Chains A and B, each alone.
Chain A
């Protein structure tokens, strides 16, 4: 057993922190939940520039094979980058491309697809999104209805996708669509990569309850997708998306968000004499710190398992479910500690602690329990794959 990061890893963490501190304007450093949601063009242009710099550092492709632009370092190393990036709000970091799409392509893509698509992710040139969920297919994703029908050298796609994070900024997307309606629902799905600017794709914004463009609804109207964009073979989409989902559930980056919000809470307590001396608040803070450390051990455990070629099929769902609990405890602690200040958002910067980031977190952190697989779904995964309980 060894629960210490190596000296090189500690130094790397510090390097990431120092770099981000040097690059990010002060008001971007509160660890907001939805930095990518911005509709401010200047803000996004800066994030795109930052993305290229992150790519230049090699941080977006740390664990991949060198032949696709990777560094062949460990998943744990990449986890350190992911955690620290999200500590400062994940600005300019395309988590979808790096964390979800890249492992999907590495696992199931053809040699040509890997050579064509991965280097631009590594360089931070392209942002990605995912066209997976639909209005009537969320947790029960295999019941989705978007059709892809073969037609010569193309598939013609029609249907509607929902809850698409960062679709308004993305250049490319993965797409899960139905290619066979005559087989059981899991067996008729195929995964594609799609140029988001293809004719026939249109977006409708979805705003979250604090007014950020967290998602888009995406409509497909006779969209032509070249056959060479099929990932993993026709009707093999379910196996492919399981890889995507397993990587989504590896949740070390959320830990950065939790840590940042916790550190803000701790600062608030330290600066307030009444709170500082209140044992109930002290124990609340201690309890959160303990949960964060435990979540961290669970997160790096899955990464360590991946680095050692061990199964993570249900371990990653345990990790995600544990963080889901932490999110709720953190959410509850925000108004408890901030009191009346807990309600002041970024529209009133004069009175908003930490630029309103905690107000927004207290409202939107609970929604993360639904992201990347709701905790109810994760529990089904653990029960069936991990505990041997039959469905």
Chain B
């Protein structure tokens, strides 16, 4: 049993925090919310130059062969800094899916580009049903000679508008989970359209229309009709990653709130001297601490390649609630100021609230836990 980071991870954490304080200030976060691209290409390239984008990949594909635990250290810092951009989607979801299921050729085609920061990718799973269930995948791919023709609409696809490639889950066979195939789709393909959505976290979510988009057969990722397993892994990784991001953001929210209650004076005293305020701060601190341990457990179990369905769903179920509560309470303790556009607290609140239901909300993951318990 060991609750500490190793020495390299501590160094990575410090380096990442220092870098992000300098390169990703809240002013940049705010600017990117207004920017059509929703991310800073400059920052994207700088993080790639630091080796973040290739951290997970083997050296032969331009990476440094780090562990998922190492990556989670970075994610926590990105959450803290509210770093905008498609890191989670490109590096973790698409990168890991290609690493796991890609052919040698696909790995060579995509991974070094991601590691260099030259490529942006996103995973297109969800549709208008807004569900993560395999039976709700309705976008179709129909074989046509050496290609497939994809038609339908994907919804809530993050950063699709700036992606070079999408990994799209489409129905190629029968209903249910055994008829789904993943395709690597060039975003500039004829018939593919992207519309940016006004989403609460300003995280570049798009509606992606497929109007008879032609995708060569060799762009199938993994096996025909057998893509759902990969999607399930992605959902699991996505859930852990969102926990880590929420944890980082809530940690920072806690600091902002403590700073504020120590400064703000009412009735002749800093409000942080009032027990009623102190107890709310402690409730927040305990929520953050609980989120930290349950998240780190999930990160560790996944990184060790242990069976971790239970650990991941417990983490997402708990963190979604507790971090949302932390951010809401942090805003509350700032008074009405906490709910204004001008104050930074709202940035954390909006992101954590969105992350709470991304890759499954509390109830969704409680159902998974219940099944694991034999119900």
Contacts and interface: CB of A to CB of B under 8 A. Distances in A.
Interface stretch (B177-185, B219-227, B231-239, B284-292): B284-292
A279 interface: yes
B296 A290 contact: no
Contact of B258 (A269, A286, A300, A388): A388
B303 to A, nearest CB: 8
Nearest to A282: B370
Chain B contact-residue range equals: 35 or more
B282 interface: yes
Contact of A293 (B279, B282, B314): B314
Contacts of A76: 1
Given A2-B1, A270-B374, A380-B275, A301 B367 contact: no
Interface stretch (B2-10, B192-200, B349-357): B2-10
A318 B300 contact: no
B2 A285 contact: no
A97 to B, nearest CB: 26
B370 A1 contact: no
A287 B317 contact: yes
A4 interface: yes
Nearest to A269: B375
A335 interface: no
Contact of A376 (B258, B279, B370): B279
Interface in B322-375: 363, 365-370, 373-375
Interface in A267-287: 269-270, 276, 279, 282-283, 285-287
A266 B369 CA distance: 13
A380 to B, nearest CB: 7
A5 interface: yes
Given A276-B375, A294-B290, A282 B282 contact: no
Interface of B: 1-6, 69, 258, 261-262, 270, 272-273, 275, 277-279, 281-283, 285-286, 289-290, 293-294, 296-297, 299-301, 314, 317-318, 363, 365-370, 373-375
Interface of A: 1-6, 9, 76, 266, 269-270, 276, 279, 282-283, 285-287, 289-291, 293-294, 297-298, 300-301, 304-305, 318, 321-322, 325, 376, 379-380, 382-384, 386-391
Given A1-B299, A1-B300, A282-B375, 4 more contacts: A301-B3, A318-B286, A322-B286, A389-B273
24 contacts: A1-B2, A1-B5, A2-B1, A6-B1, A282-B367, A285-B370, A286-B367, A286-B370, A290-B294, A290-B369, A297-B293, A304-B1, A304-B2, A318-B286, A321-B282, A322-B289, A380-B275, A382-B286, A383-B278, A383-B279, A386-B285, A387-B285, A388-B262, A389-B258
